[in-house]
């Protein structure tokens, strides 16, 4: 058998390469993977379910949502209940149905559509392939799902990118014509890469500013020592590792906005578990500027169940939607990239 394979490889290299590619695809299609729920970024969903009045929490979350959001919440809750926490993850077969059924974004048709578009985008931006994610370069943190009136409202305005990583969002969101984007990032390693990526992709210095600061619920919190992994998952809620130690200053969004003369009309928040800290420290900013919001709420149960009700109590006359911005399901993608989108009702004439 080995001699036959070697003969084909030498005599018919194109046939050999095709067969290898086909076999690899079969292996990937049948290889088992894990499905689990994130439990190390601010609390376990399982514990939250036990210690709270969940019918009350779920009803508060679903209140005034559109049908698509309600169906998504119902499916995600089923998954959070069924699948194990990360510390107890186990292998599962790809032949097993995903609990709750597939969301529209998770179907094969939608996945192929997104993959084709991502391939096109990958050729037009100068970033590593790993940085070109669906949530950023296909859904643009949910902006692609919102009405044109929202796009007009934010065009030419200040954006804020909370959890900026290495500039992928700042590069993608330039499509929406911000006048300047203020990017908050706690990792010095990521900030170094951010500057390089912005220069490589032709974003002028005048259009962005990086603030090395963490988002807090108040202005009197002490700086935090942590290890700078430079990864997308670097979090104030997870401070372990064997990397360079950094000291992270923490301030409320209201303080950050006032000190830097920011007038935000779009705020993207993906700060690895600290979305409720953002809400608690942003009341003045949200009331004054009434920005469009994209908030990742999947890291922990407080984000998922309490951010929307807290914003509703703070803001009047807003529309909120909940969407999942990734087509994957393996590992923790059954609930990852679930975001809360919000915009002022006065933008839409029929509201």
Residue 339: its pLDDT value, please?
98
Q: Which residue has the tokens 């007009």?
A: 152
Three-state SS at 281: coil
DSSP calls for 240-271 = --SSEEEEE-EE-HHHHHHHTT--EEEEEE--
Residue with tokens 């950094």: 246
Q: Which residues contact 171 (CB under 8 A, 6 or more apart)?
A: 125, 127, 197, 198, 201, 203
- Interstrand relation of 338-344 and 318-324 (parallel, antiparallel or unpaired): antiparallel
- The Cα diameter of the chain in Å comes to 74
Contact status, residue 339 vs residue 141, Cβ threshold 8 Å: yes
Give the pLDDT score at 172.
Answer: 97
Closest CA to 254 of 219, 210, 214, 222: 219
CA distances from 156 to 40, 148, 179, 268, 285 (A): 38, 14, 5, 16, 18
Pick the closest to residue 262 from 203, 319, 183, 321 (CA basis).
183
Extract the tokens encoding 303.
Answer: 């984000």
109: enclosing H helix or E strand: helix 108-124
Residues near 60 by beta carbon (within 8 Å), at least 6 away in sequence: 305, 308, 309
Distances (CA, A) of 49 to 13, 56, 82, 272, 277: 57, 11, 12, 20, 21
d(CA 92, CA 106): 18
Residue in 128, 221, 215 with CA at minimum distance from that of residue 168: 128
Kindly provide the b/e burial profile for residues 57-84, where b requires at least 16 CB atoms within 10 angstroms of the residue's own CB. Answer: bbeebbeebeeebbbbbebbbebbeebe
In 3D, which of 175, 174, 171 has the Cα closest to residue 193?
Answer: 171
Note if the pTM is more than 0.85: yes
- Are the C-beta atoms of 267 and 160 separated by less than 8 Å? yes
What is the structure's pLDDT at 91?
83
The rounded distance, in Å, linking the Cα atoms of 302 and 43 is 8
Give me the pLDDT at residue 351, please: 46
| 173 vs 264: CA distance, rounded Å | 14
Is residue 77 classed as helix, strand or coil in its secondary structure? helix
Radius of gyration of the chain (CA): 22
**Contact between residue 133 and residue 168 where contact means Cβ atoms under 8 Å apart:** yes
Output the tens digit of pLDDT for each of the chain's 351 residues.
456 667 656 766 766 676 666 656 554 455 556 899 999 899 999 999 999 999 999 999 999 999 999 999 999 999 999 999 988 888 887 788 999 999 999 999 999 999 999 999 999 999 988 899 999 999 999 999 999 999 999 999 999 999 999 999 999 999 999 999 999 999 999 999 999 999 999 999 999 999 999 999 999 888 988 888 766 555 555 555 556 788 899 999 999 999 999 999 999 999 989 999 999 999 999 999 999 999 999 999 999 999 999 999 999 899 999 999 999 998 999 999 999 999 999 999 654
pLDDT score, position 150:
97
| Lookup: tokens for 313 | 């109590």
> In angstroms, what CA-CA distances link 1 with 6, 8, 11, 14, 242?
9, 11, 15, 19, 47
């Amino acid at each position: 058998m080995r001699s036959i394979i070697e003969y084909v490889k030498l005599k018919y290299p194109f046939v050999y390469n095709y067969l290898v590619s086909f076999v690899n695809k079969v292996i990937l299609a049948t290889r088992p993977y894990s499905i689990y729920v994130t439990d190390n970024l601010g609390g376990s969903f399982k514990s939250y379910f036990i210690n709270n009045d969940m019918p009350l929490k779920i009803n508060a979350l679903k209140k005034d949502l559109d049908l698509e959001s309600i169906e998504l919440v119902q499916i995600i809750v089923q998954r959070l209940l069924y699948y194990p926490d990360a510390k107890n993850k186990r292998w599962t077969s790809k032949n097993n149905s995903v609990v709750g059924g597939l969301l529209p974004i998770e179907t094969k048709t939608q996945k192929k559509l997104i993959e084709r578009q991502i391939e096109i985008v990958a050729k037009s931006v100068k970033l590593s392939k790993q940085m070109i994610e669906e949530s950023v370069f296909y859904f643009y943190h949910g902006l692609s799902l919102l009405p044109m009136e929202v796009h007009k409202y934010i065009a030419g305005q200040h954006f804020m990118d909370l959890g900026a990583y290495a500039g992928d969002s700042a590069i993608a969101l330039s499509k929406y014509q911000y006048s300047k984007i203020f990017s908050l990032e706690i990792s010095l390693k990521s900030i170094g890469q951010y500057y390089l990526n912005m220069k490589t992709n032709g974003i002028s210095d005048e259009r962005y500013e990086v603030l090395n600061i963490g988002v807090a619920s108040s202005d009197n919190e002490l700086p935090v020592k942590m290890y700078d992994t430079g990864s997308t998952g670097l979090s104030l809620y997870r401070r372990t590792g064997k990397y360079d130690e950094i000291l992270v200053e923490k301030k409320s969004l209201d303080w950050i906005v006032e000190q830097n003369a920011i007038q935000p009309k779009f705020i993207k928040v993906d700060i690895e578990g600290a979305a409720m800290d953002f809400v608690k420290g942003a009341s003045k900013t949200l009331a004054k500027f009434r920005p469009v919001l994209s908030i990742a709420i999947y890291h922990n149960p407080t984000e998922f169940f309490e951010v929307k009700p807290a914003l509703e109590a703070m803001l009047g006359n807003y529309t909120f939607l909940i969407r999942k911005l990734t087509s994957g399901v393996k590992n923790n993608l059954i609930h990852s990239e679930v975001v809360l989108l919000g915009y002022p009702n006065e933008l839409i004439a029929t509201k």
